[in-house]
Amino acid sequence: MSNIRSYIEDYLKHEGYKLQQFSEIADINVGTLSAIIKGTRLMSMNQLDQITSAMGLEQGYFYEMYGVECFIESAPHWRRLEPFLYLCAELDKLDIIQQVITHVTDDQSYIDELFNVAESLYNKSMNEAALILYECVADSEKYQHSERLALCQYRIFLLHKTMSKFDNLNAAVKFEPYIDKLNEEVQLDAIKDLANVYMTIDLWDKVDAWARELERRTEFQLEMQSRRRKNKRRLTAYPLFTYAAYANLLISSVYGTRKEYDKAINYLQKYMKIIEIENPTEEDQNIIDLFKKWGEGNQYVFRIMVGQKSMIFPYLGYLEKNPEEILTGLLNILEASNQYGYNIDHVLKKFEHPINLFNTDFHNKDNYNYQMIDRGYRVFYYEMAKYQINQCNYSLGIDALLMCLDLSSSSKDDLMCVKCLDLYGEYRSEANETQMKKYKNVVEKLSLPTF
């Protein structure tokens, strides 16, 4: 079987190089190079890259062979394995990482180091490589109640989120039992992230329960904070008051979905009061400004939803000042218009350009969780379909409905698919030939579960 040494020997023979010549090209000591070729010395990653470059090959050409020779067929050495993992991650050679790590984790002595590399890759946003390491460490963890295992499961939960609501539900359910094993401060971020996932899949009872738990645990941490030394390193992603405010924002959103708008406004006022803190730092002020923006927008929304049509005009001004809120804002106005029979053609005309950019690469997605944006598009087009149909603009309504059906199919949102199929069935006679053909094409791709 070919190995790296035989490749080097064949190359030297083919190119007619003496060992001394090639050692100068590769910038490796001739004695070292001779020992590598004879197999009496293992090469480092740096030497491998130098030899690969000297042979005119792309970096990483020999990594699969190197992984087998150094870490599978031979006893692995961490001094070589660590840089190998980082370089494979940088070059996106994930299959090689998986192959090597599967063998390496048989030795429990490497678990600590592998976890540290996973954390480093995670912090560098090299998420796919980090996920491989987290999963291997979690599978190899002997102590099922360890904080390290819980942190691995937390990272896996964050990295496993997909556009499928069922995948996200499974990930959330699997992660829940590990929350109590995390550091008490880290638990706040974990609960926030868990509640956000339940929000994207419309499990509002779960959002409510975890939001109240977040509020309870934050109150405990705030009490503990007053007793700690002030220079203790913070483990939460945000200042503690953020979590108290966010818990109440979530509860306000829950009541909003239940159409209990008086309660929604009460919790809105509560989180607006929480952010009134003395002597805020620059970080604090940025968070305060964000909650103030959300609070202003939500006050308009809740009043529009109880039938105060006059609030639409100032809300439009708010959306113009905060273009990242346009998707959510137009969705809210559409829902209200469908409930109360408002004509909002002037609103749709005013925001025609951003609407045309929805669901394209030009739309700014930076300020939202991508699952929330995807869900927002689906609901937006469904409400748009209802609105246009209510206005007897059947062609526009069916176009929006087909867009919603297509997005829901791609996101495996079966409930929304069923709603689209029902609405289309009701107005099938209004569809033109092009729309009927598109409907047929989308339906053929559907794989709805049978009951």
What pLDDT was estimated at residue 217? 97
Q: Are 401 and 385 in contact (CB under 8 A)?
A: yes
Q: How many whole angstroms separate alpha carbon 217 and alpha carbon 226?
A: 15
- Which residues have C-beta within 8 Å of that of residue 100, sequence separation ≥ 6? 67, 71, 72, 76, 81, 84, 85
**62-91 burial, b if ≥16 CB within 10 A, otherwise e?**
bbebbbbbbbeeeebeeebbbebbbbbbee
Q: Are 329 and 355 in contact (CB under 8 A)?
A: no
What's the DSSP call for residue 181? G
Q: 10 Å Cβ neighbour count for 160?
A: 17
Q: How many whole angstroms separate alpha carbon 230 and alpha carbon 233?
A: 9
Tokens coding 77: 């050495």
The conformational region for residue 162 under phi > 0 = left, psi -120 to 50 = alpha, else beta, is beta
Question: Which segments in the chain show pLDDT lower than 70?
Answer: 1, 162-164, 229-230, 359-371, 447-451
What pLDDT was estimated at residue 366? 39
- Which residues have C-beta within 8 Å of that of residue 235, sequence separation ≥ 6? 183, 185, 186
- The single-letter code of the amino acid at 265 is I
What pLDDT was estimated at residue 346? 95
The CA dihedral of 250, 254, 255, 261, to the nearest 10 degrees, is 70
Tokens coding 396: 């526009």
Largest CA distance in the chain: 87
Tokens coding 336: 């209200």
Q: Are 345 and 390 in contact (CB under 8 A)?
A: no
What pLDDT was estimated at residue 141? 82
> Distances in Å between the alpha carbon of 179 and those of 205, 209, 339, 375?
18, 14, 40, 26
